[in-house]
Amino acid sequence: MYLTCASLLVELRGGAVVTGVCALLPCLQRYLAKWRLARDNSTAPQFNSDPSLLHFLVNEVHVCRLALSLPCLEPFTPERVSTLSDVSTAWLLCATAQASLHPKDEESEQQTATLVESALSLYSTVGETFKQSTRAGGYVSSHSYIVRQTYLFR
């Protein structure tokens, strides 16, 4: 049953739909646009966090994490690899920006922790997906990892 569903998703080009939906999530788009601008200009990304968006960010990262764990992301085209790398990196930057705020209540602190854990999980999932790809052969994983780490540590 699992293989049938997975093959149907691939056949229906579910990977393109899933990556497209993840890249168009409304709250993530702010961080994604700033990440892409910083990457293209070879500068460190600057983010202004909005504590009122925390609840929405937690929901969006959860949706994104579930969607990107579906077995339909292959075949990896250069555009899809770029989108997946950008989405996972933007979530890490978003989580970092939100964590840098100083939550005043326990609920905000809990949601921030959930956001950070989910962003790390999503980042790891995307990396593992690249690594386990029969077509990417691990090279995509290594290259993507190096590029993302370079900007994260700036």
- The mean pLDDT values, 10 residues at a time, for the chain of 154 residues are 63 79 93 88 77 91 91 81 90 90 82 94 89 65 55 54
pLDDT, position 100: 85
pLDDT, position 56: 95
The whole-model pTM stands at 0.81
pLDDT, position 59: 96
Q: What b/e sequence results for 108-136 when a residue is b if at least 16 CB atoms lie within 10 Å of its CB, and e otherwise? A: beebbebbbebbebbbebbbebbeebeeb
pLDDT, position 105: 84
pLDDT, position 145: 57
Quick one: angle between helices 106-132 and 139-152, nearest 10?
A: 150
123: tokens are 């980042």
CB 5 within 8 Å of CB 60: no
